[in-house]
Amino acid sequence: MEKIFIKPVSKEIILKGAAKEGSSDIFSYDYESDHAKRKLGNLFIVGNVQVSGEPQDDLDVGYMTNLIASLAKREYYAKSDSSPKEAFTAALKKINGVVEEFFKKQDTKINLGIFAIAGEQIHISKLGKFKIILSRDERNVDILNNVDLFDTESTQEKEFSNIVSGKVIEGDRILAFYPSRSITAREKSIKDQLLKSSQDQFVTNIKNIKDQKKDFACAAVHIQIEKAKEAAHVEAPQPKELQQSEEELTPESEPLEVQLADTELAKSVEDMKESKSEVEMDKPNPPLKIKKAISIHHEIPKIIPAEFSLGKRSNVFLKQVRRVVENMNINPKNRYVALGGLAVLVIGGALVAKSFFFIDPAVKQLNSIVSEAQSNIKLAQTKVTQQDVSGARELLMSTLSSIVSNETQNGPSKKTESTKAEIMNVLDGIDQATDAAPSVVFDMPQNSGQLQLIYPAKEGLFVYVSGDKNYLAKISAGEMGTQHEVPSAVKPESIFGSENYIALLDSTAKKIASFSVKKSTFSTTSLGLTSLVGSDIYQDNLYALVGDTITKVTDAAAGHTDSVAWLKSGTVPSGAQLITVDGKVYVLSSNGTLTTYFKGAKTSETSTSVSVNASSLMLTTTDSPNLYIVNKSLGRIYVIKKETGSLVKTLKTGATGITSAGLMADGTIYIISNNKVWKIQ
Mean pLDDT to the nearest integer, 174-190: 89
Structural domain boundaries enclosing 337: 316-357
pLDDT at 222 > cutoff 60? yes
- pLDDT for 250 equals 40
Can you give the pTM of this predicted structure?
Answer: 0.48
Tell me what the mean pLDDT of segment 402-427 comes to: 82
Does the residue 347 lie in any domain? yes
Task: Please indicate, yes or no, whether residues 649 and 526 belong to a single structural domain of this protein.
Answer: yes
Residue 273 has pLDDT above 90, yes or no: no
- Residue 110, Cβ density class (10 Å: 0-12 exposed, 13-18 middle, ≥19 buried): buried
Is the domain of 520 the same as that of 533?
yes
Please check whether residues 225 and 366 belong to one and the same domain.
no
Examine the domain organization and report whether 77 and 210 are in the same domain: yes
Indicate the average pLDDT of the chain.
78
Query: Contact at 8 Å (CB) between 166 and 143?
Result: yes
Question: Final residue of a domain: which of 401, 431, 461?
Answer: 431
Banded pLDDT at 473 (limits 50, 70, 90): very high
Are residues 493 and 443 part of one domain? yes
If asked whether residues 454 and 365 sit together in one domain, one would say no
Answer yes or no: do 459 and 505 share one domain.
yes
- What is the per-residue pLDDT across 667-680, written as a single tens digit (0 to 9) for each? 999 999 989 999 99
How high is the pLDDT of residue 327? Answer: 60
Which residue among 357, 375, 409 closes a domain?
357
| pLDDT (mean) for 608-628 | 88
pLDDT recorded at residue 628: 95
248 and 223 co-located in one domain? no
The domain tally of the chain equals: 5
Q: Which tens digit of pLDDT belongs to each residue from 330-368?
A: 555 565 566 566 666 667 666 655 555 555 677 777 788
How many whole angstroms separate alpha carbon 542 and alpha carbon 506?
A: 13
User: How large a percentage of the chain has pLDDT more than 70?
Assistant: 74
Position 236 in a domain: no
User: Which uninterrupted H or E stretch holds 346?
Assistant: helix 332-357
In this structure, are strands 23-30 and 42-51 parallel, antiparallel, or unpaired? antiparallel
If asked whether residues 453 and 401 sit together in one domain, one would say no
Q: For 63-75, how does the pLDDT look when each residue is reduced to its tens digit (9 = 90+)? A: 778 888 888 898 8
- Which of 431, 457, 476 corresponds to the end of one domain? 431
Say if residue 487's pLDDT is above 50.
yes
Percentage of the residues of the chain whose pLDDT score is greater than 90: 24
**CA separation for the pair 480, 444 (Å, rounded):** 9
Please report the pLDDT score of residue 508 as a whole number. Answer: 81
Q: Which one is predicted more confidently, 609 or 481?
A: 481
> 393 CB contacts (<8 Å, ≥6 apart)?
380, 427, 430, 431, 609, 647
307 domain residue, yes or no: no
The reply to whether 409 and 461 lie within a common domain is no
Map residue 469 onto helix, strand or coil: coil
Chain center to CA of 659: 18
Q: Which of 89-103, 625-639, 654-668 has the lowest mean pLDDT?
A: 89-103
pLDDT at 602: 93
Query: How far is residue 616 from each of residues 271, 436, 462, 592, 673, measured CA to CA in Å?
Result: 85, 18, 20, 12, 14
In terms of pLDDT, which residue wins out, 355 or 230? 230
CATH number at residue 520: 2.120.10.30
Within 479-520, strands assigned E span 479-485, 494-497, 501-506, 511-516
Domain identity same for 481 and 342: no
Q: Is residue 532 part of a domain?
A: yes
Lowest-pLDDT range, 340-354, 404-418, 597-611, 636-650?
340-354
